[in-house]
Homo-oligomer: A and B are copies of this chain.
Amino acid sequence: MYGAGDVRVQEVPDAAISEPTDALVRVTRACICGSDLWPYKSMPASEEGARMGHEFIGVVEEVGSSVATVRRGDVVVAPFVYSDGTCQFCEEGLQTSCTNGGFWGASGVDGGQGEAVRIPQADGTLVVLPVAEDDALMPSLLTLSDVFATGHHAALGARVQAGKTVAVVGDGADGLCGVMAAKRRGAEQIIILGRHADRTDLARDFGATDVVAERGKEAVTRVRELTGGVGAHSVLECVGMDDAFTTAVKIARSGGAVGRVGVPQYGALPAARDTFLRNITVSGGIAPARAYIEELLPDVLEGRLEPGRVFDRTVDLDGVPAGYKAMDDRDSIKVMVKP
């Protein structure tokens, strides 16, 4: 990506192992993330450009000399940051803060929207999938790299509990996966706030019990009506704009929690007094997907959950720029890339 709206498909030097802890993975599935749309909207023009893509599945082609847990031929999923798996943060399940970790596409690191990726810290990063590279479950397995894990993280941050009430702000792929994650945790009432019928229909399939198409004050009124006047125990903020966060706080029940996973496009969290006076906890952040893959995998492998339904379009590498445009235009919920 060379700037807002400027995504190019280019030849770059072949990915290659450079450290003994690396693996080389040939990408078989990747995707475009809602968070990729923020630079797509606003990135200043750049001569160097940025490698893009942080969600992918692939086949291990080669491993460095010290890699022990994956080997050539393994089908693997990469969570959306790499991590060593052994530092104090990794041991606590916060791989996004790994002291030897980092982001795909950062300087010197490949992006997932490409043919191949050098995987730093392969042992800590990759999870082997017990399937063939063209398994029919690939779309759902791919969501473990980020979007379903992110929905799960939102649900944990919002302290979703069985039998309780949940509201999800945003009907993008994160919000839809948040609905699924809330349902998986046993929420009784799941209200999705969204205006796109195709998305909210999918949300209902994923477990939403109510749809609120209104925005702002009207949305707050409607959610309060649906929750006995008091708001939802748990609110998943899956947008990242300050008005979405404000709405999330207003529809939260006193003593409840907001789990935010929308990358914040604001510098300060609004409603600081309301959260204080009503003891609303604000939690969440970037999801340590690596911590959740093993837990979420069985539900996907055994077909109980199909988070891959958030993909409504598939492109090849040449189709990636059009994929960005489709998501930015809201013509597509989420685009899968099949190199």
Contact = CB atoms under 8 A, between A and B. Distances in A.
A276 B272 contact: no
A217 interface: no
A291 to B, nearest CB: 11
A267 B242 CA distance: 13
Contacts of A271: 268
A276 B288 contact: no
A255 B97 contact: yes
A275 B280 contact: no
Contact of A276 (B255, B260, B278): B260
A131 interface: no
Contacts of A113: none
A38 interface: no
Contacts of A285: 275-280
Interface in A258-290: 260, 263-264, 266-273, 275-286, 288
A276 B263 contact: yes
Given A89-B254, A89-B255, A254-B89, A94 B269 contact: no
Interface string A52-74: 00000000000000000000000
Interface residues of A, number: 34
A1 B312 CA distance: 63
B281 A281 contact: yes
A254 B280 CA distance: 20
A125 interface: no
Contacts of A275: 269, 282, 285
A294 interface: no
Contact of A268 (B230, B255, B270): B270
Contacts of A200: none
Contact of A97 (B96, B267, B278, B284): B278
Interface string A243-261: 0000000000011000010
A272 to B, nearest CB: 5
Contacts of A281: 157, 281-283
A92 interface: yes
Interface in A68-94: 88-89, 92, 94
A272 B267 contact: yes
Nearest to A240: B276
Nearest to A92: B255
A234 B331 CA distance: 44
B266 A96 contact: no
The 9 A-B residue pairs with the shortest CB-CB distance, nearest first, are: A268-B268, A279-B285, A97-B254, A269-B269, A281-B283, A94-B255, A276-B285, A282-B282, A269-B272
